Amino acid sequence: MGDHSPFAFLCILLLFFGACFASIQDQVRDRITNLPGQPNVGFAQYSGYVTVNKKAGRALFYWLIESPKNRGPESRPLVLWLNGGPGCSSVAYGAAEEIGPFRIRPDGKALYLNPYAWNNLANLLFLESPAGVGFSYSNTTTDLYTTGDQRTAEDAYAFLVNWFERFPQYKHRDFYIAGESYAGHYVPQLSQLVYERNKGIQNPVINFKGFLVGNAVTDDYHDYVGTFQYWWTHGLISDSTYRMLRVTCDFGSSQHPSVECMRALKIAEVEQGNIDPYSIFTRPCNSTETLKHNLRGHYPWMSRAYDPCTERYSEVYFNHPEVQRAFHANVTGISYPWQTCSDIVGTYWADSPLSMVPIYRELIAAGLRIWVYSGDTDAVVPVTATRYSIDALKLPTITNWSPWYDNGKVGGWNQIYKGLTFVTVTGAGHEVPLHRPRQAFIVFRSFLEGKPMAS
């Protein structure tokens, strides 16, 4: 029987409708009806697991928050958000205290609305990555001790391929990737994978348009130089410690520093005292126990200018059994509580390339939309580090350094290069949408529209 027989055509139709029916079933299963303590909302939510490696039993947890019905979610782009660490949860940070529609009340039981939620502009997809972070898991214990950049990118790509099959309505939709901190590695690495695997494909399923990163770990050498300079110029460390850091750390790996560099970093930490390095002008939470950690791009603790203890509320809320049931989460009965960051994943991180600059060059040449933003009160991945890393790209300037405005007040500064836009947000710490939600919303809107910041 030939390839074009009616029987063969019927088989293809049955396969197609069977796949569609299966994806609809999966969507119905993943639909969130209502989260405990949630106010009434006009948008749909989905969450659940996508298997990315059957042999190892690796499955990643996602939370999709669509745009409100009155804003036409079917015509809006899809944005994947990744938090870094490595080892930190995008549900804990991106969704619950930065760009998502909900904030958690201090009792850890109820939610309230974020007026500057980014789902007003786009459909948001939060991914807990890699396995071992948040609700994402692996059935192979050694997986958690061997994770690194490459496997994280490959698993995230496998997630996307399978997720788009589950949500076919998002196929061919404009798609962007965004994130912050160590996601300064994840975002360009995943972007590169998507871009390269789309080559030669007309009308690709993953219609990738560009990426957006904030306070991003980018290039170890320039990040170190810029970070130590920020500490010194902001009076956080002594002259002698600044010199010591420049000698012992400048040419090493930020993820795997030398013993001498670690010793110098420890001295710097003591000199800085009881501050929140992620937001140097806001008070830390009363307990500084979780604040004392190495300053190497990990961020197991975050601050909120008006409530620096917000992470604690997440750990209470997402560990409630009824919350996990509503999220279709922890279906395998993970042996440990949900945490904002995984110490195991972060401590045993394997490969970590020294620089993302070569990937930037490749994706800039491809004509993708690339924006980098930076909160200027962050001492962990400070604005000086980002400026040195961008300078290393040696891009021609289109529009020189200038202020941008929000209601007549300076919201920050920006510079437009050929192939990249850089924006600072004044008074914002490491998590820009947490400290300056309105200004971060304006940056995101300009990015999606491909328009310069208002001058």
Residues with Cβ < 8 Å from 367, sequence gap 6 or more?
A: 419
Average confidence (pLDDT) over 190-210 = 97
Average confidence (pLDDT) over 192-197 = 98
Environment class of residue 202 by beta-carbon count within 10 Å: exposed (0-12), middle (13-18) or buried (19+)? exposed
β-strand 58-65 against 45-53: which pairing, if any? antiparallel
Neighbours of 270 (CB within 10 A): 11
Average pLDDT of the chain, as a whole number: 90
The three-class DSSP label of residue 259 is helix
Higher pLDDT, 363 or 16: 363
Q: Per-residue confidence at 19, pLDDT binned at 50, 70, 90?
A: low
Rounded to whole angstroms, the Cα distance separating 166 from 168 reads 6
pTM: 0.91
Q: Per-residue confidence at 237, pLDDT binned at 50, 70, 90?
A: very high
Average confidence (pLDDT) over 34-44 = 97
Helix ranges (DSSP H) in 348-408: 357-365, 383-391
Higher pLDDT, 395 or 306: 395
Helix ranges (DSSP H) in 111-182: 149-166
Q: What is the pLDDT of residue 9?
A: 53
Among 73-87, 133-147, 436-450, the minimum mean pLDDT is found in 133-147
Neighbours of 203 (CB within 10 A): 7
Average confidence (pLDDT) over 308-320 = 89
Average confidence (pLDDT) over 271-277 = 92
Is residue 13's pLDDT more than 80?
no
Report yes or no: 221 and 354 within 8 Å, Cβ to Cβ: yes
Rounded to whole angstroms, the Cα distance separating 2 from 57 reads 40
> Which residues of the chain does CATH 3.40.50.1820 include?
22-222+352-449
Cite the active site residues.
181, 378, 430
The CATH superfamily assigned to 22-222+352-449 is Alpha/Beta hydrolase fold, catalytic domain (3.40.50.1820)
